[in-house]
Amino acid sequence: MKNTTPGFRKERATSSFRSLRGSLISSRAPRPTPPAPSFVSPTPRPSSHSPLYERRICFIGAGTMGHALIQGLLAKGMPARQLYAADPSPQARRKISRLGLSVSDDNRECRQADVIVLAVKPQEMPSVLADLASNLHPPQWVISIAAGIPLSFLESRLPRLPIVRVMPNLPATVGQGFSALAMGCRVRLRHRRIAMEIFNAVGQVVRVAEPLLDAITAVSGSGPAYVFFLAQVWEEAALRLGLPRAVARRAVAQTLKGSVQLLEKNSLSPQEWIARVASKRGTTEAALRVLEQRRVRFAIVAALQAAAKRSRQLSRLSQ
Ligand SMILES: NC(=O)c1ccc[n+]([C@@H]2O[C@H](COP(=O)([O-])OP(=O)(O)OC[C@H]3O[C@@H](n4cnc5c(N)ncnc54)[C@H](OP(=O)(O)O)[C@@H]3O)[C@@H](O)[C@H]2O)c1
């Protein structure tokens, strides 16, 4: 990539530090609010005439993400009798049956469903698809959340079925997910609407073209891990400064939570929020200077580029 040459990095490091300084001392006139993005935010429950309520949905794989989606749908008012799950793990099945769902260790049980959600690890997908191929027929259709498994692979294994590929993320487990949906070639409006509603039950959704899913994977799919990494390092630093662990953990988590709420107000850009915290020659400016000198900004860009590259590699491996 052209813009990762050392020369480019050096120049950018200097100018970005200058722009940071500029923002700290510049006037704080808020920018106009950016145009509303085409996200769908979580709603308490779908309207009573939503076709979602009439569908039977079977989850193949009921681990972390399958369980989160089931919980989200139940919380939105989806009747438990419309949901099924198949999983070889007795522990996962026990957890799901406590929610009032029918469970099985046989994936072929999904024959009775209208929509099949594939929520197994990517390495399980070839064998799961091989099992399902002769058992599924239109008008049944499929949603896959497996990272790095492209639509072309899914469509070649399930040749007549509409397929939606989704990249959700871990905050879906607390109803605060971010899911990007890419539509396969046989997907119609009715499938798309239902798929959006399913993921809307666990957070925000956005529709993207499939090639953007590598970037989405890097940004929001893997994103929670970057935040947890930051929290871990931040907490370690707090301990070194003498705070007790309980205070350090709470101070970090509450600071993250409050800052996210400010960002969500969408009235100021991150840079403008920085200016609200930092005063000239103050403590925040001292800290930010170290972050810029140590090129943290470029480490983050490089980390996300590595994640997107790996996502592309994984997709190619399954083709
Ligand atoms: N976790 C995330 O943050 C995240 C984010 C975005 C996308 N995803 C995608 O979501 C998918 C599921 O991830 P997860 O975190 O929910 O994984 P998980 O917690 O391991 O859940 C997968 C479940 O599938 C079961 N399973 C294994 N083989 C199966 C088979 N042949 N048929 C039916 N079920 C089977 C597993 O049982 P055993 O435990 O017995 O193997 C497990 O209960 C993955 O493809 C991942 O790429 C995850």
Rounded Cα gap, residues 222 and 252, in angstroms: 20
Q: Which amino acid is at 12?
A: R
Q: Does residue 171's CB lie within 6 angstroms of at least one atom of ligand 1?
A: no
Angle value at C-alpha 208, between 206 and 213, nearest 5 degrees: 105
Q: Does residue 120's CB lie within 6 angstroms of at least one atom of ligand 1?
A: yes
Ligand 1 mean position to 70 CA, how many Å? 14
106 has a pLDDT exceeding 90? yes
Dihedral pair phi/psi, residue 236, rounded to 5°: -60, -40
Angle value at C-alpha 220, between 196 and 37, nearest 5 degrees: 55
Instruction: Output the pLDDT for position 82.
Output: 96
Alpha helices in 241-282 (DSSP H): 245-264, 270-277
9 has a pLDDT exceeding 70? no
Instruction: Output the pLDDT for position 246.
Output: 97
6 has a pLDDT exceeding 70? no
Tokens of 302: 């490089």
Q: Quickly tell me which residue has 């609407």 as its tokens.
A: 193
The mean pLDDT value for 64-86 works out to 96
Query: What structural domains does the chain harbor?
Result: 2-34+221-317 (1.10.3730.10), 51-209 (3.40.50.720)
Contact 178, 171 (CB under 8 A): yes
Q: How far is CA 258 from CA 155, 250, 261, in A?
A: 43, 12, 5
Alpha helices in 158-295 (DSSP H): 189-200, 213-216, 223-240, 245-264, 270-277, 283-293
pLDDT tens-place string over residues 191-214: 999 999 999 999 999 999 999 999
Instruction: Output the pLDDT for position 210.
Output: 97
Instruction: Output the pLDDT for position 2.
Output: 37
pLDDT tens-place string over residues 17-71: 334 444 333 333 344 444 444 556 555 555 556 889 889 999 999 999 999 999 9
Instruction: Output the pLDDT for position 50.
Output: 80
Count H helices and E strands in the chain, helices first: 12, 8
pLDDT tens-place string over residues 227-279: 999 999 999 999 999 999 999 999 999 999 999 999 999 789 999 999 999 99
Instruction: Output the pLDDT for position 143.
Output: 98
Q: Ligand 1, closest atom to CA 89?
A: 40
Tokens of 117: 């959600």
Contact 144, 163 (CB under 8 A): yes
Q: Does residue 109's CB lie within 6 angstroms of at least one atom of ligand 1?
A: no
Dihedral pair phi/psi, residue 84, rounded to 5°: -135, 160
Q: Does residue 87's CB lie within 6 angstroms of at least one atom of ligand 1?
A: yes
